[in-house]
Amino acid sequence: MMVHDFAASFDAEKVFRLLGAREGRRVSASSRRRVHNLSQDMDALVDPRLSYRTLTLAGVNQGGIELEDGTCFKSPKLARAMASADRVCCFVATLGPELEMKVHRLMQLRRHADACVLDALGSMSAESIVEQFYQRMAQRLAKENRGVTLRFSPGYCDWPLAQQQPLFALFANQAPLRVELNQSCLMSPRKSVSGLFGIVPGGVACADPSYNPCTMCAKRDCIARRSR
């Protein structure tokens, strides 16, 4: 299923952190102006789209999970997060190619600072689109007394980036999303996000909120660190 109705929003403080600002440090007025000015162009530069599928979770073992169609994802941490789930929602989202093209033009004009800021705005906006979808699904499922797990993307935690291939294969017969994988399993357009989350019967209380792999990770300054 394809979803289009998203707001191109972003968290300004996360943008500053992505640009190298240290948490708790004051950001200069000129940097804030640059982010504000470039953010005015975002609506014209993005065409947010997200495609998703919900499949039955056929099996979970210590090394990973298996879906109803035989697709397997290898990740012990993902398997632990899905232990109580009975279904899995897989997704691929993108902002489209225009923002990336604009960043390239700015680099050609040697407006490097503007290019870096716009690139960071794109990264945060792509993440925001997925978060909007995730929260909508959580609210809808809560009405059915179902909960959701944390969401995961290939390349994070112990889920290999190469697992983009079986994830994308799930969408081979869906409406075209205009997102492709290269030989390194990186997505094009770059401002795209893929991943999945589990759907748990019995509500949020059954989704094992105590398990969060971020709490066991030594990378304390990670911008993607989750506090749930």
pLDDT tens sequence across 6-22: 876 777 778 888 887 77
What digits encode the pLDDT tens for the residues 192-212? 999 999 999 875 554 555 566
* Domain 2-216 coded CATH 3.40.109.40: yes
Query: Are 90 and 53 spatial neighbours (Cβ–Cβ below 8 Å)?
Result: yes
Nearest to 156 by CA among 148, 165, 144, 164: 164
Q: At what angle do helices 98-108 and 112-142 cross, to 10 degrees?
A: 160
At 118 the pLDDT is 93
For 85-99, 139-153, 174-188, which range has the lowest pLDDT when averaged over its residues?
Answer: 174-188
- How is residue 54 written in tokens? 């919900």
User: What is the rounded average pLDDT of the residues 96-114?
Assistant: 95
Q: Are 49 and 132 contacting, i.e. CB atoms less than 8 angstroms apart?
A: no
Distance CA 147, CA 207 (A): 6
- What pTM, to 2 d.p., does this model score? 0.86
